[in-house]
Each structure stands twice: as structure tokens, then as C-alpha cells.
Structure 1
Amino acid sequence: MHFFLSSVLVTILSLSGLFAAAHPPAARAQTVQKDYENHPNRAAIEYVVKNKLMWLYPDGNFRPEQPVTQADLVAGLVNVKGLTQGVPIPGFPANHWAKVYYERAKKDGILDNVSINPNKVLNREEAGLIMANAWKNLRSAFGKKRQSYSELAVRNGWLPQKTGKFSNGVQTTLYDALSNVSRAEESKALAILHRDMLGILEGEKIANQIHQSFRISGGYLKGTVPTINGYDIRLLAGMKNGKIVSFKSGVVMLNVSQIQYLELSVNRKGEAVSLALYNYTKFPSLERVSVR
């Protein structure tokens, strides 16, 4: 009996070993990592995928070090800005996946001074120009012609600092213009620009709310500056006697005949760059001009 039980036990252990042999591959499959899980730009990659600004490949990978093409960046920027209207581009390949993105980018000005070549792998100078074009109708500073768009991209955090050369061949320790832009680097740029885009939309909404509250009645400008969590809102009134009156919240009441100008700004708390910025200089008219 002892011999019999021992034999049965050995047989069971042997069989269990056979069955167990199927489990390690399954366990390994569960721990397979996506190619960006340990990448320094993982948060940006997850952000752009979640917000449908870029995409994962069918195998679930992002290919973070793959160089981006012109079409990749144009499509990403169109997604960031939520563009829906386009214009035809004569000669553009009819069956190219990015055709609709290029038509929308063309109407928006993203392709200004850009040689259209959707399959071209971009260098940092070319990418900087396209990103500046995308933002020039949102922030006036980006509408100025530059000697180096790679420098502009680095200074705004869109691209990382990198040793290399400017487009004219001059050596640089920070603003390399000639190397490629990776998908991981594009993801960080698009995440930054998308956050700014969402902020601008919210800032404009707040500025419009304040503007719509303004009334001129009995020789006085009346209105309301709201308090909104996460935002610094400020209305500055420059008076003809040289004084400046500041309103951060509450009711506004000013003698119109004494106002020289108003400046209305909306910022995220703790940030210096305005999401909305308007000047009023034509009193008693309430006409305003965006100076963002």
C-alpha cells in the first residue's frame, strides 16, 4: 500500500508538472510592457492618446523614437485645435490618409510658407515653423518671422534642448535645427499646446462673460468681475488723472468720462501668460481689441 500511494503521488506530481508547463507563457504575456511604459515622456504619450491627438499602432505600441513625418505633425495640430473646416489643395494625393487634415491646416494657416510633402521626415526647424504657424492666430508673438524656429520651439518647451547646428550650419548647444523629431517629442509638444488651447477657450469664455456684463448708464460704466476657482481675473482701469484702479472680483462702477483705458486679463493661477487679454480704448464705446 505504501508503495502504491507513493507511485500515485509521483504520477500526480508528474502530471501536474505537465499541466503547469502551459502557465509560464501566459504569465509572461500578462507582464509584456508597451514600448512607452518606462519612457520619460510616458505621461505626455498617455495624454495625447487619451485625447485623440495621436494614436497607438495596432500592436498597442506607440513607437516613441520613430521620427515624425510632416503629415504626422499636421494631423496632430489639427486635432489639437479641433479644426473642422478646410479648403482644397490642388495636387494633393487623393487617397492619402492625411488629405482632410491638410485641407483644414491650409485654411487655418498652419501650412503658410511650408512646402507640402506629407511623407517628409521633419527636422526640428521645420517642425518649429509648423507649430509656430498653428499658434500665430492664437498668440500674436508667434506671428513674427524668425531666424530660428527650432530656438522658438525650445524656448516654449515644445522641443527639448539639444546640441547641434542651426539651419545655417552654425554650432549650437541648445537649439539644434537639423536632427529629426521623434513621436515622443511630438507627444510632449502636442500635450503642451492642447493644454494651452483648452485654457484659451476657457479664458475667452470668462472674458466674454465679463464683457457682456458691461453697461454704460447715467455716465457710468457698470459690470461684474466674477471669482472663478483656478483663475486670476483682473480688470485694470487707467484713469485720466493718472491713477490705476484694479478690480479682481465684484461690482465695477466707473465714471466713463474719467476712463482713459481698460485692460482685462484672464490667467491661470500662478501663471504669467494670459489666456485672454483685451484692451478697451475707445470710450464711450465698449469696443475691445484682443492683444493676447
Structure 2
Amino acid sequence: MKKMKLAKTMLAALLATCGIVPVLLSEPTSVTAATSDYANHWAKKEIDWALQKGLIWKYADGTFRPDETVTQAQFLASLAKVMGLKEKAPYPAIGNHWARGVYEQVAKANWFSPDIKIDPNAQMTRYEAAAWITNAWGHKTYEPMKYTFTNHLLVSSWRFKNGLEGKKPGYFAYEEYNYFLKTALPTDRFTRAELAHTLKMIDTRKRYVAEAMGWTNQLKNSMYVKEGKVYGKVPNLPFIEYRRQAQVVYWDGDGTDFKRLEPGKNFALPATGTISIDVIMDSLSILTYCWELPSLNMINIREKSFSSISQARNTELLGNDGK
């Protein structure tokens, strides 16, 4: 051991004489900093996941700085990657900033909206995070905080971590919008840890939606109408209580009676009434589509109700003509 230390000392002296800094001979300090940086943080698992997926990055010194406010450019770089953006459109407004390519992807995806000021180096607020996520999901709404919250796309604060349970044991209060506003304000800063947590939620929901759309498209592609009847086949749908549930239901023409159609089976039904598919995963409603027979045009129930609410609110704000 003493000989090894002596050899290292002699080598260091030789390198120093040649003007070379012997960085490899010293113990790396960034590893300790990086591991202790968020080792006991509430979002450690989500941070590890986001780093592994390459959705978020450490600083040059190896630290993550979980409670540091994320900048707009950092946020958009992560959001664009988790949403899978590839194509770009010219966007010279931010000059030669390192995130120019990201803003060009965002421009092509049409995520911009008037309520968000473009400033790559600005510190993000919770409202801005909600607005960007809402736009990325394809919904420009007057109330992005409510949209992201009720759709489980932005529940990522230490305040939620310590206060999600309701007043009664076993009851949850997160579905109540007023509770959300009292718990985490729209003006709160949005941290890097919260970003990692939110990215995990977005990725999970994207995967759930993709799987659910696979079943929905199987059902859609199997259906046809002939001589007053609708024919088709129900996909092999899962039913694991509270985890993975999907069902196809037929409502009669009066809308007073319904029956669940058996998974994996063919069906032949009167071409009146409604057929719907509903998917729930981890106790969260993922999608609901329906067909108002005899039409085989697929209707997204969640989007239809969302559009109705938005239109009603816009009319209230802008006037009866909606302009």
C-alpha cells in the first residue's frame, strides 16, 4: 500500500512538471455530491427514473439540485422528449440559445398559447407548467391547472406528498379543485424534482392511453352494420379490480337498458342505441369512446364533455357569439 501511494506521488510530481493536472489521481467529488444530492428526497424514485430515461439531466458538477426551480428551457426540453417530439419548424425568437431546437419542436407541435410568455431562462411557475402540459396534451383551455390536476398530470409537490389524504382515514381529497388550490398555488415555483415526478405521470398515462387505444381500435375495426344489425367482436379485455379494467357496453335505443358484452366474443345487435368502451387503470379513468348506432363514427366522450365545458366558459367570458 505504501509503495502504491509512493508511486502515485511520484507520478503526480512528474505530470505536474510537464504542466498536466493529475485529476485522475484524486478521489472524484462529484459522485458523492450526486448521490447525496437527492438521496433522501421524496421524489428520489422519480428522479432516478427520469435520469435513466434521459428525460432530465444533472449539472456539470454531478448534482441534481431537486428543489431548484426549473427554467422554461429545461422544462420544455424534458416535456418535448417525453412527448416524443421530432419534427421542427423555424423559431428564431430565442436566437442561439442552447434550447433553440427544443423551441422549434414546440413550434411545430403548436404548443404556444398567449398566456405563456416565452423566456427560456425564466423560472417556471406551477401555472406555466400546467399550461404547457395541457397544450402538449392537445387541449388549450382557460383553466390548465384544473385540467392537469383532474387528469392526474400535475400532482407533484411535497405539499401533495404530505397532504393528499382527506380528513377521514382512507379518503382522498385530491379530486376537489378547491382543496388543490389551497394545497398548492398556481404561482408556486415548479422544481426539478416536481418535474421528474410529473414526467413519470405523463409517461405512465401515455402508455395507458396507447394500450387502451389498441383495444378501442380493435373494436372499431371489427364493427360493421348490415340489414339493421351491428356486428363486431369484443377484444380480449382485462378485468383486474382497481388495476386494469376495460368493458364494452351496449345500451338499447331507449337508453334504459344495457348489457356488458363478453370479452373475446362476437356480437350481433340491433343497430340502434349505443355501444361504448371504457378503460380504467390504477383506479384512473383513461378513456371512454362510444358509437351512436347506426353510425360507426367513433366519439371521444371525455373530449366531447371537455369541449362543451370549454365552449360554455368561453361564451361566458367572450360574449354570446364566442368572439
> What band does the TM-score fall into relative to the shorter chain?
0.7 to 0.9
SS in 1 for 2:93: coil
Instruction: Tell me how far 1:267 sits from its aligned partner.
Output: 2.6
Which protein is richer in helix relative to its size?
2
Q: Quick one: which of 269, 273, 283 aligns to 2:285?
A: 273
Pick closer, same or farther for the CA change 1:63–1:31 going to 2, 3 Å. closer
Find the counterpart in structure 2 of residue 104 from structure 1: 105
Counterpart AA for 1:115: K
Q: Quick one: which of 260, 264, 268 aligns to 1:250?
A: 264
Deviations 1:18-59 (A, max 9, x none): 78xx9xx86999866522222211111111112221122344
Counterpart AA for 2:265: V
Pick closer, same or farther for the CA change 1:79–1:27 going to 2, 3 Å. closer
Find the counterpart in structure 1 of residue 49 from structure 2: 47
Pick closer, same or farther for the CA change 1:28–1:108 going to 2, 3 Å. closer
- Please list every run of 5 or more consecutive structure 1 residues that lacks an aligned counterpart in the other structure: 1-12, 164-171
Give yes or no for contact 2:126–2:187 (8 Å, CA) kept in 1: yes
Pick closer, same or farther for the CA change 1:218–1:97 going to 2, 3 Å. same
Find the counterpart in structure 1 of residue 321 from structure 2: none
CA distance in structure 2 between the aligned counterparts of 1:97 and 1:30, rounded to whole angstroms: 26
SS in 2 for 1:273: strand
Counterpart AA for 1:256: P
Count of matched residue positions in the alignment of Structure 1 and Structure 2: 256
Q: Counterparts in 2 of 1:1-292, with a 5 A limit?
A: 34=35, 35-93=37-95, 95-113=96-114, 114-135=116-137, 137=138, 143-146=140-143, 149-150=144-145, 156=152, 157-160=154-157, 162=159, 173-229=182-238, 231-241=244-254, 242-257=256-271, 259-268=272-281, 270-274=282-286, 276-281=287-292, 283-292=293-302
Instruction: Tell me how far 1:134 sits from its aligned partner.
Output: 1.9
CA distance in structure 1 between the aligned counterparts of 2:93 and 2:33, rounded to whole angstroms: 44
CA distance in structure 2 between the aligned counterparts of 1:116 and 1:32, rounded to whole angstroms: 33
CA distance in structure 2 between the aligned counterparts of 1:92 and 1:84, rounded to whole angstroms: 19
User: Which region of structure 1 is more displaced relative to structure 2, 174-183 or 152-161?
Assistant: 152-161
**Larger radius of gyration between Structure 1 and Structure 2:** 1
- Please list every run of 5 or more consecutive structure 2 residues that lacks an aligned counterpart in the other structure: 10-25, 161-180, 303-323
Counterpart AA for 2:40: N
What is the RMSD computed on CA atoms of the aligned residues? 3.2
Instruction: Tell me how far 1:125 sits from its aligned partner.
Output: 2.2
- Identity in percent: 24
Give yes or no for contact 1:45–1:184 (8 Å, CA) kept in 2: yes
Pick closer, same or farther for the CA change 1:27–1:58 going to 2, 3 Å. closer
Pick closer, same or farther for the CA change 1:58–1:194 going to 2, 3 Å. same
Give yes or no for contact 1:106–1:112 (8 Å, CA) kept in 2: no
Instruction: Tell me how far 1:216 sits from its aligned partner.
Output: 2.8
